[in-house]
Amino acid sequence: MRGFEVLLTLAVTAAFARAVVPRSRGPRWTGYAAPLAASAALVQILAEGARWQLIPAYALAAACLLGFLVRLRVRPGAAAPGRTGARAARAVRATLAVAGAAALLLAVTLPVALPVFRFDPPTGPYGIGTVTYHWAQPRPELVTADPDDRRELIAQVWYPAVADPAAPRAPYVESTDPVTRAARLLGLPGFLLSHFAHVTTNAVASAPAAPGGQAYPVLVYLTGRAGFRSANTFQIEELVSHGYVVVGLDQPGVSASVSLPGGRRVPLPNERVAALIDHDVAPGAGPGPPPSLPGGPVPGGIIRYLAQDVAFTLDRLAEINAADPRGVLTGRLDLARVGVFGVSLGGTTAAEACAREPRIGACLIMDSAIAAGTLAAGWRQPTMFLTRDAATMRLERERSGGWSEQEIAQTLGGMWAAYQRLPAGHGYHVEIPGMFHIQFTDLPYWFPPARAVGLTGPLPGRRGLKIVNAYTLAFFDAELRGRPAPLLDGGDARHPEARLRRR
């Protein structure tokens, strides 16, 4: 919890204890615990911002203050109630005590379970800057129904920057609309993750690029279906701190919602996209013709349609490298050393981008099915597959649902087949048993009790993130920079959970 949230919780606890304990049993100062709790609530709201997880604390502070004011109005010499009135008063006090205890329990547990979290500091020597761009393409937008719409992307770029510990940190999300819609797509209340508006990162908006004038390798990050461009901040910031530029995309048809200039939003047509993905992964498996998007049929399939955004991104990055309108990245992008990485649908799209785009030099695919057309076309770039074993997938199905035997076979079988077809010396296949699918994202930060309720696997969430980061950095360092990467030679005692194969 944040500092003033802790203060509020302590003040409310003291006020509630004073309300239920006879006055003679508490220190004299506790007689003012109720107004102190109300003051703490006001200070917390003004200093840190209100959030729904603290509603029980706010309500309890208000109730205690009301009780305090009522007691002030009661005259010391007032007649005591009769026997019947005394019984009724005791019953009311008992009921209020139980309700207050329940509110106090929620006041403590909700902000701990869904905290305004902080990302661990990355381990590299560079600070992190970030800027965001809006890019419009000439090709039609098929995710919307308007035939005049053209495809637009929001691209956030993170880059090595001058470290400034005192500078304000950039927000995790610029708008809560994507996370609100993502929660609804999962059948959860839309407000569940609204507190992400208060979360900051280790990046600084528009920070000066790191001194020295050097250009850095560029990596394009692709999120999973119903995700958002910063959903792997744990991984993005670690890479940038070690001297990479990372570009995260909000793509219509992938992100839960894409917020465009002028207040426009493109929500995800989730069921249609899911059906299109299934058709690309296993053509002909379902009855009837291929599904379509609101804007019409998708020539070549949804995966190829999405992968074209990567080629477009590289074109725009070349323009920025020549003359950045933000005045930050001119000459700082090494577009001769480009990689792409993605999780789930993002990994599926990354594989297709590698098969179609020769400018990409390395590909990292995390727990993703491979489209049949992509597998048939093949690609030759060095590629790492980060995934887990079938037993872990079945455990995930048992605890939190999903992952039919068909999905397990398609996902693991597709990645293994793609790995086997890579040229000698170009393939890495890493299994991390005990990791659930969502653990390849920032979720362990979002919901610390995830393991207790079955959302994450036996491998602790933060531990899984460290393993992912270690292999991610080693892979891109080896393949884009030619640096020695002992981790990729196998037998690293620091990461005994992972199983590495090379070809």
One DSSP character per residue, 161-172 reads: E---TTSPPPBS
Q: Per this entry, what is the length of the chain?
A: 503
Amino acid letter, residue 91: A
pLDDT at 25: 55
If DSSP codes are grouped into helix, strand and coil, which group holds residue 159?
strand
Q: What are the DSSP E strand ranges found in 276-404?
A: 333-343, 362-366, 383-387
| Structure-token pair, residue 367 | 């727990």
What is the C-alpha separation between 112 and 117, in angstroms, rounded? Answer: 9
Q: How far apart are CA 223 and CA 349, in angstroms?
A: 9
What angle is formed at CA 270 by the lines to CA 266 and CA 272, rounded to 5 degrees? Answer: 105
Rg of the chain over CA atoms, in angstroms? 27
Q: Which residues contact 184 (CB under 8 A, 6 or more apart)?
A: 190
CA distance 288 to 279: 11
- Ordered per-residue pLDDT tens for the chain, 503 residues: 899 999 999 999 988 888 877 555 556 666 788 899 999 999 999 999 999 999 999 999 999 888 888 877 655 555 555 666 667 656 767 777 888 899 899 999 999 999 999 999 999 999 999 999 999 999 999 999 999 999 999 999 999 999 999 999 999 999 899 899 988 888 888 889 999 999 999 999 999 999 999 999 999 999 999 999 999 999 999 999 999 999 999 999 999 999 999 999 999 999 999 999 999 999 876 667 778 999 999 989 999 999 999 999 999 999 999 999 999 999 999 999 999 999 999 999 999 999 999 999 999 999 999 999 999 999 999 999 999 999 999 999 999 999 999 999 999 999 999 999 999 999 999 999 999 999 999 999 999 998 888 889 999 999 999 999 999 999 999 999 999 999 998 767 889 999 999 98
User: Cα–Cα distance between 162 and 202 in angstroms, integer?
Assistant: 12
